[in-house]
Amino acid sequence: MRLRFVLLVLIAIGALGGTAALLYAWESPIPPIDPRSFGAPDRALVRRGASLALIGDCATCHTAPGGVPYAGGLAMPTPFGTIYSTNITPDPETGIGRWSMQAFIRALRSGVDREGRHLYPAFPYDHFTRVSDDDARALYAFFMSIDPVNSSAPSNALPFPLNVRLTLAGWKLLFLRQARFVADPSRDERWNRGKYLVDGLGHCGACHSPRNLLGAEKASAEFEGGEAEGWRAYALGRYSQSPVAWDEAALTDYLAHGSHPLHGTAQGPMANVVDNLAQVDPADVSAMAYYLASLGKGEGQNKSERAPSGPGHLPQAAGTQAATPSIPSDGGGAIYATVCASCHEGDRPLPLGGARLDLSTALTDDTPANLINLVMKGIPAAGASARPIMPGFGDVLGDRQISDLANYLRSRFAGRIPWGGLAKAVVEARGGR
Amino acid sequence: MTTLIINGESRSVEASPDTPLLYVLRDELGLNAAKYGCGLGQCGACTVIVDGKAVFSCVTPVTVLEGRAVTTLEGLGSHDAPGPMQLAFIAEQAAQCGYCIPGMMMRAQALLNRDPHATDEAIRAELQPHLCRCGTHMRILRAIRRAADEMRPKAEEAGTGR
C-alpha cells in the first residue's frame, strides 16, 4: 500500500515535470507574412545590414561550396553529427521569405525558427542574443532585400536524442543567457562598440573560447583558446601565447588585411573572418581591435630581440633559392635546413619570403594543430591580396617527417617542451584534408 | 649522394641534399620537361608526381625523396610514343607557349590515376595551383577530359579483367 502510494507520487511528479519541461520547451509558431508585403527597401538600412551580416560571418556558414551566398546547405561537422546550414534568402518556400521581423529577431536571439522549432547552437545565438534592436532590424532589412533562392538544405545527420529539437530547450536552459548588450559607462564609446561587436555579431568566442562536453562555451574560460574545423583558435588577450604582444595597431591591421608581419596570416576559418572584415566599415573593425587590445597581453612575450634567424640571415643568390645552413644530422633539423630554411632564413622579404619562425604562435601554442596544417597545406594565395604565401608540403613529407620537423621547430624556435600527442595530431590533420 | 627512383629507374645523384629536385632533374639528369617558373611553389610549372601525388619539384629538396618514386613528364611517354595525356594535349592543341603544360599534364595525370571519373569541377579545382598566362585554359580542360575518356576504358578493363 505504502509502496504503491510512493510510486503514484513519483509518477505524478514525473508527469508534472515532463509537462512542465514540454511547456518550457514549447515555442509557438509565428504567423507567416505575405512576402509581397514588403515595400521599397530602405537603402541606408540595407547597406548597414549588409555590413553587419559581414561582421556576423553569416554568408560563411549559410553558403554551400560553390553555392549562392546565403542559400545555405553547407555541411558543418560537429562532435555530435553533421548539421547543414539553412537557406536565409527571402525565398517563401525554402528560405525566410515568410518570416516577420519578429520571427527573424526571435531566431537571431533565441534560436527558434518561425515555426517554433529550436535551432541548433551551431548557429551562434548565444552571441547574437546581444544584438541590439536597431542592428537586428538592419539585418532583417538586408536579408529581405537579397534575391530569393529556392534551395533546401539536406537533413541534419544527428543521432537520437539530439535529433529531437525539444532537447535543445534543455541546452538553452543550461547555457543560453538571453541578454542585450549593456554598455559599461566607465569605458568610452569605442570600447563599448568593440565589445558589443566582438561578443555579439562577431561571435569571436565561438571559436576562441573552449567548449564543454555539451558543446557550450565555458563561460569561465572566455578567450582561453578553442578549436574550429581542425584549426586552433588561439587564446586572446592575457591568455595569448603570441611571442610578440598584440597591440591595437597590430590587431587592426590583422583584422582588416588578414595578416601582420609579426603575427602571420589568417588561415583556416579565420581566413573567412578577415575576408569578411575587409569589407565592413573600418571604424567597426578598429573598435573591435581597440576592445580586444584592452583584454591584456600574455606573459613571456616580446622575444623580437632574440631573433636567432629569420629572413636576411642567409646570403641569397640572384635567383630565389637562398643558401641553406649547414645540415644537422637529426631528422627534423635536416628537413628544416633543406625544406624550410631557404625561405625562412633567406633575404626575400614578406610576402614572398618566409615569416620569422621565432615569432610564430603556431610554435608556442599548446597544440600543434596549426603548425601541422601550415606545413601540410601551406598558405594559399588569397585573391589579389598581398598576404604572405607558402607552398604546402603535405604531399612531399610523410607523417613521421612532419612530426620530426614539428618537434625540431618547437624546441629550436619556441624553446618549449615537445607537444604531447603529436603523431596522432599529424594523422588526424591528414585525414581531415 | 642521394638515390632517387625516377620514372622507374634508380638514379644516384651527386647534388647536395638541399638541392631542389627540379635542379637535379634538369641539370644533372637532363630531364627538361619540368620547368622553372617562380621557384616558390606558386605557379605549377615544375610539377612532377611523387608516390602518386603532384608536388612542386622547385621547393622539394632531394634529401626528402630518398627511395621514393618520382614520375616526370618523360615518364608518361616520349616524342615518338606519346602517352594518352600527351596525345590528348596534342589533339586539342592545348599549348600556346607551352611553358605551363608539363606541370598541367602531371597534375592532371595524378588526378586521373586517383579518380578516372573526375568531374569537370574536380579537374578545375585540382588545377587551381597552376598558372597559364597565354589563356589556353579551355583547351587544357578539353585535353584533360579527352585524356580521361581515353584512359578510362583501359583503367576499367584492367580493373574488371574484361
Q: What are phi and psi of A390, to 5 degrees?
A: -160, 135
Burial of B104 from C-beta contacts in 10 A (0-12 / 13-18 / 19+): buried
Domain count, chain A: 3
**Cβ within 8 Å, pair A391-B38:** no
Check whether residue A156 and residue A41 sit in a common domain.
Answer: yes
Same domain, A106 and A162: yes
Residue A200, domain CATH: 1.10.760
Confidence (pLDDT) at B119: 96
Q: Which residues in chain B have Cβ-Cβ distances shorter than 8 Å to A324? A: 18
The two beta strands, A75-78 and A81-84, are antiparallel
- Tell me whether residues A396 and B40 touch, CB distance under 8 A: no
List of chain B residues whose C-beta atoms are within 8 Å of the C-beta of residue A337: 18
In a domain, A142, yes or no: yes
Q: Do B38 and A319 touch (CB under 8 A)?
A: no
B131 exposure class (CB count in 10 Å sphere: 0-12, 13-18, 19+): middle
Q: How much is the pLDDT for A303? A: 52
Of B17, B50, B54, the CB nearest to A338: B17
**ipTM confidence:** 0.91
Q: In this predicted structure, what is the pLDDT of residue A4?
A: 74
Residue A300 belongs to a domain = no
Residue A392 neighbours by CB under 8 Å, 6+ apart = A375, A376, A377, A378
Provide the shortest C-alpha distance from residue A294 to chain B (in Å). Answer: 39
**Does residue A320 surpass a pLDDT of 60?**
no
B18 and A342 within 8 Å at the Cβ level: the answer is: yes
Contacts of B16 (CB under 8 A, 6+ apart): none
- Tell me how far the alpha carbon of residue A273 is from its chain's centroid: 7
Instruction: Please determine, for residue B154, whether its predicted confidence score (pLDDT) is greater than 70.
Output: yes
Are B61 and A401 inside 8 Å of each other by CB? no
Q: What are phi and psi of A422, to 5 degrees?
A: -65, -50
Residue of A nearest to B39 (CA): A320
* Statement to judge: residues A162 and A207 lie in one domain: no
CA B127 from chain center: how many Å? 11
- Asked whether the beta carbons of residue A391 and residue B20 sit closer than 8 angstroms, the reply is no
Residues 6+ apart with CB under 8 A from A312: A346, A347
Tell me how far CA of residue A199 lies from CA of A112, A349, B102, in angstroms.
20, 36, 51
Q: Most B CBs within 10 Å: which of A396, A401, A433, as the mutation test of the B interface?
A: A396
Tell me which of B121 and A301 has the higher pLDDT. Answer: B121
Write down the pLDDT at residue A364: 96
In a domain, A128, yes or no: yes
Question: Same domain, yes or no, for A229 and A340?
Answer: no
Cβ within 8 Å of residue A341, ≥6 positions away = A309, A314, A322, A324, A325
Q: Which of B40, B60, B121 sits opposite A396 (nearest CB)?
A: B60
Q: What are phi and psi of A92, to 5 degrees?
A: -65, -30
Return the CATH number at A384: 1.10.760.10
Bridge partners, B56 (sequence order): B47
Kindly list the residues of chain A whose beta carbon comes within 8 Å of any beta carbon in chain B.
66, 319-321, 324, 327, 334-335, 337-339, 342-343, 352, 378, 381, 389-391, 393, 395-397, 401
Closest CA to A144 of A84, A99, A78, A85: A99
A341: domain range?
Answer: 331-431
- Buried b vs exposed e over A105-130: b needs ≥16 C-beta within 10 Å? bbbbbbbbbbeeebbbbbbbbbbbbb
- Residue ranges of alpha helices (H) inside A146-268 are 167-175, 189-199, 205-208, 248-257
Cα–Cα distance between A423 and A403 in angstroms, integer?
Answer: 6
Same domain, A260 and A122: no
* CB atoms B59 and A391 under 8 Å: yes
Q: How far is CA B15 from CA A89, B23, B27, B31, in A?
A: 59, 9, 10, 15
- Let me know whether A61 and A126 are in one domain: yes
Q: Tell me, yes or no, whether A400 lies in a domain.
A: yes
- pLDDT exceeds 60 at position B105: yes
Per-residue pLDDT tens over the stretch A106-164: 999 999 999 999 999 999 999 999 999 999 999 999 999 999 999 999 999 999 999 99
The answer to the question of residue A163 being in a domain is yes
Q: What is the mean pLDDT of chain A?
A: 90
Domain B2-160: top CATH class: alpha beta
B40 contacts A391? CB cut-off 8 A:
yes
Would you state the pLDDT for residue A307?
Answer: 43
- Are A125 and A236 contained in the same domain? no
A319 with B36: CB under 8 angstroms?
Answer: no
Which cell numbers hold the place of A187? 569605458
B18, B41, B54 member nearest A324 (Cβ): B18
Whether A47 and A149 map to the same domain: the answer is yes
A394 and A371 co-located in one domain: yes
Helix A133-145 vs helix A43-55: angle between axes, to the nearest 10 degrees? 100
Comparing alpha-carbon positions, the chain B residue that sits nearest to A401 is B64
| A1 vs A66, more confident | A66
Find the chain B residues whose C-beta atoms sit closer than 8 A to any C-beta of A.
Answer: 17-18, 20, 38-42, 50, 53-56, 59-61, 63-65, 121
Query: pLDDT digits over A263-293, tens only?
Result: 999 999 999 999 999 999 999 999 999 999 9
Q: Is the pLDDT of residue A305 over 70?
A: no
The pLDDT of residue A319 is above 50:
no
pLDDT band at A70 (very low <50, low <70, confident <90, very high): very high
Q: Confirm whether A136 is domain-assigned.
A: yes
Q: Which three cell numbers stand for residue A217?
A: 562555451
